[in-house]
Amino acid sequence: MSARRDPEGRKRALAQAVVEVVAEVGVGRTTHRMVASRAGVPLGATTYYFPTLGDLIAAGLALVSESVACELEQWREALEPGAGDLGAGDLAERLSLMVAEYVADQPKALLEYELYLAAARSPALRPLARAWLDGVHELLLPAVGEAPARAISALLDGAMLQSVVTGDPIDSSALAAAVRSLADR
Protein backbone atom coordinates (compact mmCIF):
# COMPACT_ATOMS: atom_id res chain seq x y z
CA MET A 1 0.00 0.00 0.00
CA SER A 2 1.40 3.43 -0.86
CA ALA A 3 2.03 6.10 1.78
CA ARG A 4 -0.79 8.05 0.09
CA ARG A 5 -3.31 5.41 1.22
CA ASP A 6 -1.44 4.30 4.31
CA PRO A 7 -1.76 6.77 7.20
CA GLU A 8 0.80 4.93 9.34
CA GLY A 9 3.19 4.79 6.39
CA ARG A 10 2.74 8.51 5.85
CA LYS A 11 3.43 9.22 9.53
CA ARG A 12 6.60 7.10 9.37
CA ALA A 13 7.67 8.89 6.20
CA LEU A 14 7.12 12.26 7.88
CA ALA A 15 9.05 11.17 10.98
CA GLN A 16 11.95 10.00 8.82
CA ALA A 17 11.81 13.22 6.82
CA VAL A 18 11.98 15.36 9.97
CA VAL A 19 15.02 13.38 11.10
CA GLU A 20 16.74 14.07 7.77
CA VAL A 21 15.80 17.76 7.76
CA VAL A 22 16.96 18.26 11.35
CA ALA A 23 20.25 16.57 10.46
CA GLU A 24 20.75 19.03 7.61
CA VAL A 25 19.53 22.33 9.02
CA GLY A 26 19.10 21.82 12.77
CA VAL A 27 15.96 21.88 14.85
CA GLY A 28 15.65 25.68 14.88
CA ARG A 29 15.40 25.93 11.11
CA THR A 30 13.16 22.91 10.56
CA THR A 31 9.70 23.77 9.19
CA HIS A 32 6.59 21.84 8.26
CA ARG A 33 7.15 22.92 4.65
CA MET A 34 10.69 21.49 4.54
CA VAL A 35 9.55 18.21 6.05
CA ALA A 36 6.60 17.90 3.65
CA SER A 37 8.89 18.53 0.71
CA ARG A 38 11.41 15.92 1.92
CA ALA A 39 8.64 13.37 2.53
CA GLY A 40 7.03 14.10 -0.85
CA VAL A 41 3.62 14.85 0.67
CA PRO A 42 1.39 17.90 0.62
CA LEU A 43 2.08 20.49 3.31
CA GLY A 44 -1.35 19.86 4.82
CA ALA A 45 -0.35 16.28 5.59
CA THR A 46 2.27 17.44 8.07
CA THR A 47 -0.20 19.51 10.06
CA TYR A 48 -2.91 16.85 9.73
CA TYR A 49 -0.75 14.22 11.41
CA PHE A 50 1.41 16.55 13.50
CA PRO A 51 -0.48 19.80 14.28
CA THR A 52 2.51 21.61 15.78
CA LEU A 53 6.16 21.72 14.86
CA GLY A 54 6.86 20.33 18.33
CA ASP A 55 4.70 17.29 17.52
CA LEU A 56 6.61 16.79 14.28
CA ILE A 57 10.01 17.08 16.02
CA ALA A 58 8.76 14.66 18.71
CA ALA A 59 7.92 12.12 15.99
CA GLY A 60 11.47 12.41 14.68
CA LEU A 61 12.88 12.08 18.18
CA ALA A 62 10.73 9.00 18.78
CA LEU A 63 12.17 7.44 15.63
CA VAL A 64 15.69 8.24 16.79
CA SER A 65 14.82 6.88 20.25
CA GLU A 66 13.96 3.54 18.67
CA SER A 67 17.38 3.57 17.05
CA VAL A 68 18.98 4.46 20.38
CA ALA A 69 17.16 1.57 22.08
CA CYS A 70 18.56 -0.81 19.47
CA GLU A 71 22.03 0.69 19.90
CA LEU A 72 21.84 0.27 23.69
CA GLU A 73 20.78 -3.35 23.28
CA GLN A 74 23.81 -3.93 21.04
CA TRP A 75 26.00 -2.27 23.67
CA ARG A 76 24.46 -4.47 26.39
CA GLU A 77 25.25 -7.59 24.38
CA ALA A 78 28.79 -6.40 23.62
CA LEU A 79 29.46 -5.70 27.29
CA GLU A 80 28.45 -9.15 28.45
CA PRO A 81 31.48 -11.14 29.65
CA GLY A 82 33.06 -13.03 26.76
CA ALA A 83 30.96 -11.23 24.13
CA GLY A 84 32.02 -10.44 20.59
CA ASP A 85 35.52 -10.07 19.16
CA LEU A 86 36.62 -7.84 22.00
CA GLY A 87 37.77 -10.91 23.86
CA ALA A 88 38.20 -10.72 27.58
CA GLY A 89 38.74 -6.93 27.54
CA ASP A 90 37.50 -5.06 30.54
CA LEU A 91 34.41 -2.87 30.68
CA ALA A 92 36.36 0.37 30.20
CA GLU A 93 38.09 -0.92 27.07
CA ARG A 94 34.86 -2.15 25.55
CA LEU A 95 32.99 1.05 26.34
CA SER A 96 35.71 3.26 24.89
CA LEU A 97 35.78 1.26 21.65
CA MET A 98 31.98 1.39 21.32
CA VAL A 99 31.93 5.15 21.95
CA ALA A 100 34.65 5.66 19.34
CA GLU A 101 32.68 3.57 16.85
CA TYR A 102 29.46 5.44 17.64
CA VAL A 103 30.90 8.91 16.95
CA ALA A 104 32.75 7.68 13.86
CA ASP A 105 29.32 7.87 12.19
CA GLN A 106 29.36 11.70 12.41
CA PRO A 107 26.07 12.36 10.58
CA LYS A 108 24.15 9.98 12.84
CA ALA A 109 25.81 11.25 16.01
CA LEU A 110 25.23 14.88 14.99
CA LEU A 111 21.58 14.20 14.30
CA GLU A 112 21.05 12.53 17.64
CA TYR A 113 22.72 15.42 19.46
CA GLU A 114 20.59 17.94 17.53
CA LEU A 115 17.48 16.19 18.78
CA TYR A 116 18.98 15.79 22.24
CA LEU A 117 19.54 19.55 22.40
CA ALA A 118 15.97 20.18 21.24
CA ALA A 119 14.82 18.24 24.29
CA ALA A 120 16.65 20.71 26.52
CA ARG A 121 14.39 23.46 25.16
CA SER A 122 11.15 21.50 25.06
CA PRO A 123 9.84 19.70 28.15
CA ALA A 124 7.60 17.57 25.94
CA LEU A 125 10.68 16.05 24.29
CA ARG A 126 12.62 15.33 27.48
CA PRO A 127 11.18 11.88 28.23
CA LEU A 128 12.28 10.69 24.81
CA ALA A 129 15.77 12.16 25.17
CA ARG A 130 16.19 10.57 28.61
CA ALA A 131 16.09 7.16 26.96
CA TRP A 132 19.80 7.47 26.15
CA LEU A 133 20.81 8.85 29.56
CA ASP A 134 18.83 6.29 31.51
CA GLY A 135 19.77 3.48 29.14
CA VAL A 136 23.52 4.00 29.54
CA HIS A 137 23.11 4.33 33.32
CA GLU A 138 21.11 1.09 33.53
CA LEU A 139 23.66 -0.61 31.30
CA LEU A 140 26.51 0.32 33.66
CA LEU A 141 24.71 -0.02 37.00
CA PRO A 142 25.16 -3.78 37.56
CA ALA A 143 28.86 -3.63 36.73
CA VAL A 144 29.95 -0.55 38.69
CA GLY A 145 27.18 0.62 41.04
CA GLU A 146 25.05 3.77 41.24
CA ALA A 147 27.50 6.66 41.62
CA PRO A 148 30.14 5.36 39.18
CA ALA A 149 27.41 4.53 36.63
CA ARG A 150 26.18 8.15 36.71
CA ALA A 151 29.73 9.54 36.48
CA ILE A 152 30.75 7.22 33.64
CA SER A 153 27.55 7.96 31.76
CA ALA A 154 28.26 11.70 32.01
CA LEU A 155 31.87 11.15 30.92
CA LEU A 156 30.82 9.13 27.87
CA ASP A 157 28.20 11.70 26.93
CA GLY A 158 30.73 14.52 27.24
CA ALA A 159 33.34 12.66 25.20
CA MET A 160 30.80 11.97 22.45
CA LEU A 161 29.59 15.57 22.43
CA GLN A 162 33.14 16.91 22.20
CA SER A 163 33.87 14.57 19.31
CA VAL A 164 30.70 15.61 17.49
CA VAL A 165 31.47 19.31 17.99
CA THR A 166 35.15 19.14 17.04
CA GLY A 167 35.02 16.35 14.49
CA ASP A 168 37.99 14.78 16.27
CA PRO A 169 37.93 11.03 16.84
CA ILE A 170 37.68 9.64 20.36
CA ASP A 171 41.00 8.76 21.98
CA SER A 172 39.80 5.37 23.15
CA SER A 173 42.86 4.71 25.33
CA ALA A 174 42.43 7.95 27.27
CA LEU A 175 38.69 7.39 27.55
CA ALA A 176 39.22 3.84 28.84
CA ALA A 177 41.65 5.14 31.49
CA ALA A 178 39.12 7.75 32.61
CA VAL A 179 36.33 5.15 32.77
CA ARG A 180 38.57 2.85 34.85
CA SER A 181 39.32 5.63 37.32
CA LEU A 182 35.63 6.37 37.77
CA ALA A 183 34.68 2.70 38.01
CA ASP A 184 37.27 2.11 40.74
CA ARG A 185 35.86 4.78 43.05
Tens-digit pLDDT profile for residues 144-164: 999 999 999 999 999 999 999
Q: Which of 147, 128, 153, 162 is nearest to 60 (CA)?
A: 128
Question: Pseudo-torsion of CA 117, 119, 105, 16, nearest 10°?
Answer: -130
- The answer to whether residue 171 scores a pLDDT higher than 50 is yes
Instruction: Specify the pLDDT at position 86.
Output: 42
C-alpha span between 27 and 76 (Å, rounded):
30
Average pLDDT of the segment spanning 7-32? 88
Read off the pLDDT band of 31 (50, 70, 90): very high
Instruction: Specify the pLDDT at position 83.
Output: 57
Burial (CB < 10 A; 0-12, 13-18, 19+), residue 64, is: buried
- Helix or strand (DSSP H, E) at 69: helix 53-79
Instruction: Specify the pLDDT at position 173.
Output: 95
Read off the pLDDT band of 84 (50, 70, 90): low
- The answer to whether residue 21 scores a pLDDT higher than 80 is yes
Asked whether residue 1 is domain-assigned, the answer is no
Asked whether residue 16 is domain-assigned, the answer is yes
Work out how many domains the chain is built from and give that number: 1
Instruction: Specify the pLDDT at position 39.
Output: 94
pTM over cut 0.85:
no
Asked whether residue 72 is domain-assigned, the answer is yes
Range of the domain at 122: 7-183
CATH number at residue 89: 1.10.357.10
- The answer to whether residue 109 scores a pLDDT higher than 90 is no
Instruction: Specify the pLDDT at position 124.
Output: 66
Instruction: Specify the pLDDT at position 16.
Output: 93
Instruction: Specify the pLDDT at position 103.
Output: 92
C-alpha span between 117 and 47 (Å, rounded):
23
